[in-house]
Amino acid sequence: MTGSSVALSPVAERRMPIRPHLDGQKFDPETIRVMGLAYEMALVALRLADRGDLANEVLAHRILPKPASAILSGCAKAC
């Protein structure tokens, strides 16, 4: 059995609900697609609607990787 991937149209990719939460971070299109799918799956699993409230914001920021600068500053505080 071979794996298959679902290609999203350019319009669907622009509408990924994770995009507003990127906060200017730059990612390649495939990474955005995967993070967007993870976000949407988590919304469904938690029975949340993508309505822009605090729960959605917290969920999105748990899925997104932290910028390198935040990771390094956190390490400096812990080390």
| Per-residue model confidence as pLDDT tens digits over 16-52 | 678 888 888 888 899 889 999 999 999 999 988 867 7
Give the count of domains, the chain: 1
Residue 26 domain-assigned?
Answer: yes
Residue 44 domain-assigned?
Answer: yes
CB distance 17 to 40 below 8 Å: yes
Considering the entire predicted model, what is its pTM?
A: 0.62
CA 27, distance to chain mean position in Å, is 10
Q: What's the domain range around 39? A: 10-78
Residue type for 37, please?
Answer: L
The whole-number pLDDT of residue 23 equals 82
pLDDT greater at residue 23 or residue 15: 23
Residue 2 domain-assigned?
Answer: no
Residue 22 domain-assigned?
Answer: yes
Residue 62 domain-assigned?
Answer: yes
Closest of 5, 12, 22 to residue 57, by C-alpha: 22
The whole-number pLDDT of residue 75 equals 55
